[in-house]
Amino acid sequence: MGALKYESMTPLQKAAVALVAFGPEVSAHVLKGMPEADLEKITIEIANLREVPPDVEDKVIDECYQIFMARQYISQGGIDFARKILESAVGVAKAREIMQRLETTIKSSGFSLLKDIDPKQLTSFLQNEHPQTISLILTQLSPQHAAAVLSELSPELQGEVALRIAMMEKIAPEILHEIEQTLSGHFDAGAAAQMSASGGAKAIAEILNLIDTTAEKNILQSLEADDPDLAAEVKNMMFVFDDLTLLDDRSIQRLLKEVETKDLAIALKAASDEVKNKIFSNVSERVAVMIREEMEFMGPTRLSDVEAAQGRIVEAVRRLEEEGQIIVSGRGGKEDIIV
C-alpha cells in the first residue's frame, strides 16, 4: 500500500491519523466517549495505518484545529459569527467547506430527529414537560415546525412557553445534551452532538409570524400581561418594513389607502429597491411622481424620522391583518388563501 494522500483520505482515515498524532493519553479520552460501533471502526482504521507522510499529518492536524475553533466560534456567537471569522482566517472556500461539515454534524443531533415527527405527536410528548424544557426544544426546531407545535399546546402553556423563548439566553451544552439523550431514547435514536439554544425576541417573533392567528393573539396577550416591553419588542420584530414585499398587490393597494403620502415618502428614503418597486408598481404614474417629488423636496432626512414613518406603516399592516383586510404571505394555512 502506498503512502496516504490527503486529497483522497476519508473522514475516518483523517480521524485515525489525528488520534495517532495526538498521542495515547489524548486519544484515550476521545475514544472513551465514543459509541461502541464507532469505536470499533476507528480502532480498525488506526490498526491499518501504514505510511503517513509528515505533510499529510500536518494538514490533518490543521483541519482538526480549524474545526475545533469553528465549534468554539459557534458556541460564542452562532453559525453566522463562526462563518465570518473563518472566512477572515482561511478564506471563503475553506470556511464554507468547514461550516458544511460542522452543520452536517450538528444536524445529526438528537434534535434533528424531531423534524420528521408530526406536530400533534410531538405536542403529545411535550404537553406534560416543564415549560422551560418545551421552550428549549422549540428553539432547536425550524420556525415552521415550532409554530405548528406551539399552536397545538394548550392556551395557558402557549403563553408561558412563548415568554420563556423570548427571554431565553444561551444554555449550557450539558443541559441540551441531557435533553437530547431523553429525546433520543424516546424516539429511538443514537447519540447526539452538542448544540446551543438561541432564543430571544427574534426567535419567538419568527415562530409567531408562522402560527395561526388565534394562537398568536393568545400568546401576545400573555406576553403583554407578563412583560409589556418584551411584547412590544416581539411585535416590532414580527413584521418589519422590508416585509412589505410579502404582501400581494391587492393588500399593498389596500394598505396605501391607510398611509399618508408624506409618511410613505419618508419611509421609502431608506427602503430597499424591492420595497420601492413593490410600492411604485401598485400606484398610478401620477401618484408615483408625487411620492418621488416629495422624497426629493424633503432632502436629507434623519434616520429616526424614517424609522418612525416606517413604524407607522408597519402598525397599519398589523391592524389591517388583524381585521382580515390584507394577507401577509406565509401566515396561516391554505384556508386563509383568497382566490
Q: Give domain status of residue 1, yes or no.
A: no
Which of 191, 217, 235 is the last residue in one of the domains? Answer: 235
Local structure of 235: helix, strand or coil: helix
Residue 295 belongs to domain with CATH number: 1.10.220.30
In terms of domains, do 244 and 325 share one? yes
Please determine, for residue 181, whether its predicted confidence score (pLDDT) is greater than 80: no
> What are the grid coordinates assigned to 128, written together?
406534560
- The β-bridge partners of 328 are 247
d(CA 217, CA 28): 54
Q: For residue range 79-110, what is the model confidence (pLDDT) as tens digits?
A: 677 778 878 877 888 788 777 766 555 544 55
Q: Give domain status of residue 221, yes or no.
A: yes
pLDDT score recorded for residue 136: 81
Q: For residue range 150-171, what is the model confidence (pLDDT) as tens digits?
A: 888 888 888 888 888 888 766 6
Query: Going by C-beta distance under 8 Å and a sequence separation of 6 or more, which residues neighbour residue 162?
Result: 150, 204, 207, 208, 219, 222, 223
Query: Chain-wide mean pLDDT for the chain?
Result: 76
User: Grid cell 410579502 — which residue?
Assistant: 246
pLDDT band at 276 (very low <50, low <70, confident <90, very high): very high
Which of 201, 235, 269 is the last residue in one of the domains? Answer: 235
> Which of 308, 165, 313 has its CA nearest to residue 239?
313
pLDDT score recorded for residue 279: 93
> Which of 57, 44, 66 has its CA nearest to residue 5?
57
In terms of domains, do 161 and 267 share one? no
Average of per-residue pLDDT across 32-39: 69
Find the domain containing 57 and state its range: 6-107
> Which of 211, 171, 215 has its CA nearest to residue 194?
171
Q: Check residues 84 and 196 and name the one with the higher pLDDT.
A: 84
SS3 of 106-168: the string is HHCCHHHHHHHCCHHHHHHHHCCCCHHHHHHHHHCCCHHHHHHHHHHCCHHHHHHHHHHHHHC
> Is the whole model's pTM more than 0.75, yes or no?
no
In terms of domains, do 223 and 131 share one? yes
